[in-house]
Amino acid sequence: MVIAMRPSDLPEVRALDLFKSVGDEQFSTMMQASYLQTFPAQVELISEGDPADFLYIVVEGCVELFARANGRESTMGMVRPVGSFILAAVLKDAVYLMSARTCQRSRLLMIPSQNVREAFERDEAFARSIVVELASCYRSVVKEHKDLKLRSAVERLANRLLRYNADQGGSGRVELPYGKRTIASMLAMTPENLSRAFNTLKPYGVEVDGATVRLTDITSLETLAKPNPLIDDRKT
Amino acid sequence: MVIAMRPSDLPEVRALDLFKSVGDEQFSTMMQASYLQTFPAQVELISEGDPADFLYIVVEGCVELFARANGRESTMGMVRPVGSFILAAVLKDAVYLMSARTCQRSRLLMIPSQNVREAFERDEAFARSIVVELASCYRSVVKEHKDLKLRSAVERLANRLLRYNADQGGSGRVELPYGKRTIASMLAMTPENLSRAFNTLKPYGVEVDGATVRLTDITSLETLAKPNPLIDDRKT
DNA sequence: CGACGATTTGAATAGGATCAATGGGAGTGG
DNA sequence: CCACTCCCATTGATCCTATTCAAATCGTCG
């Protein structure tokens, strides 16, 4: 059952770096085979180990990528509009390495893997865009991996706060974009430990009030955090 | 100063998945601009933060990828013949995220980034091969990241031993491919902790003698390790 | 108001890191 | 061939970090 895309959604998707240079023909073929669907919060969209049937695009809302093993679970990343996820699995026609669930009510574009691979074969420009997108994703994970292997928990939190601050205009007033439980998991710590890490940062001008954090001494926090563009910069 | 490639080396490189489908013209253009050079052990080839001037191919020997931050250092991966490294940085014309040094005397093919990007632009088949290669690298890092976030140090070691055993024919006799110091760093632990982890595994049939490890109770070790194809399988 | 979930705090424990000291080859030079 | 040295690995002791379990608090939503 194909749910027609609203005309108003198409431009956003078309504007994605990934699709910008795709030929009209391939793009509309892909779109016609696709599903645009709205999901409530906390729906598990895919489960790691499943064959990659669709490429997902987050048009609205937010999706959490996570992984499970043994009894444990860990947040691997968050995808916001307009971003894609599990592109690599789709291209390799392999199983998903990560699971995904909606964090909020979300509108997702689901493009059948087969169509993505066909467009990839037929459309040279699309293939090149995919390279750039993949290279970016790859470098992001490498950065996260470095973050985890080279920094302590407190340092990870400090750098994350500095990043949020920069993202939000650098006013020193940061709104945490996710629940603390989720942030803890992203930073590879327990909620309890995150809470304690915030306390550890208090002497460095970090004041927490619910989901709001005020950074009153950025210099001092940076001295502790030692931010590193080769880990923290989202671009490059 | 271009050092001519030995004719005997070319086929190996040509046979790389990455280059298999490149047109002869693009391939020979790239090769003519390239350097094939032999380095002694422990030479730092590239340093994170440097602009990506070359794509590297390990023709012979072994190269360690590592990262530094603050005072710490961590091994991010090993590249053996015939494999490439830092492809993503080259394609994005960005700086390297990782440093690299030779572990042994090694022969490396260095292809100027500019030539790689030109071939990527001109040769459609090459662009597609790169996608597959990048997608594979990407998935590998995701697996490593899962390994680190979802497993304890002892579990990581147990699974790594099982992998080495499988790689080496599954006889139960494993030859450690790197020094313990390096293995410790790959597994995100200190050498001391690795040593203790080996002791912890003794009751599970792990007998260490220098660089040789005998696994005398694979079943028991697997019960502890809970190997997971979505983390441990090199393929897929 | 009451219930539920999320967060925080406390106490105890476990896991890992650090520092220090000892053993054990591999390679060097006598 | 042996003594010496150096580096790596191991072991012990201790410290620090992070996890676990438990309980209290807070806020939100019916």
- Token pair belonging to B40: 């002694």
pTM: 0.94
CA B175 to C1' C21, whole Å = 29
pLDDT digits (tens, 9 = 90+) for A145-162: 999 999 999 999 999 999
For residue A158, give the 3-state DSSP assignment: helix
Same fold: A7-148 with A151-232: no
pLDDT digits (tens, 9 = 90+) for B38-63: 999 999 999 999 999 999 999 999 99
Is B116 part of the contact surface with chain A (CB cutoff 8 Å)? no
Determine the average pLDDT of the residues in A28-51: 94
Is A127 part of the contact surface with chain B (CB cutoff 8 Å)? yes
Q: Which nucleotides of D are covered by protein (CB under 7 A)?
A: 8-13, 17-22, 27
CA B225 to C1' D24, whole Å = 37
- Residue B3: the pLDDT is 54
- Residue A6: the pLDDT is 56
Q: For the residues of B137-197, what is the DSSP string, one character each?
A: HHHHHHHHHHHHHHS-HHHHHHHHHHHHHHHTTSSSEEE-SS-HHHHHHHTT--HHHHHHH
Strand-pair partners of B60: B107
pLDDT at A4 over 80: no
CA distance B124 to chain A (A): 6
Contacts of B234 (CB under 8 A, 6+ apart): B140, B163
Domain boundary assignment for chain A: 7-148, 151-232
pLDDT digits (tens, 9 = 90+) for A216-234: 999 999 999 999 999 999 8
pLDDT band at residue A11 using 50, 70 and 90 as cut-offs: confident
Q: What is the CATH number of domain B7-148?
A: 2.60.120.10
Q: Which nucleotide is nearest to A151 (CA to C1')?
A: D17
β-pairing, A206-209 with A212-215?
Answer: antiparallel
Is B72 part of the contact surface with chain A (CB cutoff 8 Å)? yes
The torsion angles phi and psi of A94, rounded to 5 degrees, stand at -115, -175
pLDDT at A71 over 70: yes
Of the partner residues B134, B141, B143, the one whose CB lies closest to the CB of residue A135:
B134
Interface size, chain A vs chain B, as Cβ–Cβ contacts under 8 Å? 150
pLDDT at A215 over 50: yes
- Residue A7: the pLDDT is 57
User: Which residue intervals of chain A are DSSP H helices?
Assistant: 10-15, 17-20, 24-32, 87-92, 113-122, 124-150, 153-167, 180-186, 191-201, 218-225, 229-232
pLDDT at A112 over 50: yes
- Residue B189: the pLDDT is 97
Determine the average pLDDT of the residues in A110-118: 96
- Residue B235: the pLDDT is 82
Q: Which nucleotide is nearest to A191 (CA to C1')?
A: C7
Determine the average pLDDT of the residues in A35-64: 95
User: Do the chains contact at A143 and B97, CB–CB below 8 Å?
Assistant: yes
CA distance B131 to A88: 9
Nearest CA in chain A to B77: A142
Contacts of B141 in chain A (CB under 8 A): 138, 141-142, 145
Q: How far is CA B150 from the centre of its chain?
A: 21
**Residue in the block written with tokens 């530094």:** B68
Give me chain A's average pLDDT, please: 93
**Under-50 pLDDT residues of chain B:** 1
Q: Which nucleotide is nearest to B180 (CA to C1')?
A: D9
- Residue A144: the pLDDT is 97
CA distance A206 to B170: 53
CB count in 10 Å sphere of residue A54: 22
Question: Which residue's CA lies closest to nucleotide D7 at its C1' atom?
Answer: B181
Q: Which residue, among A73, A150, A234, would best test binding to B if mutated, counting the most B CBs under 10 Å from its CB?
A: A150
Determine the average pLDDT of the residues in A186-212: 97
Determine the average pLDDT of the residues in A50-61: 96
Q: What is the CATH number of domain A151-232?
A: 1.10.10.10
CA B19 to C1' C13, whole Å = 54
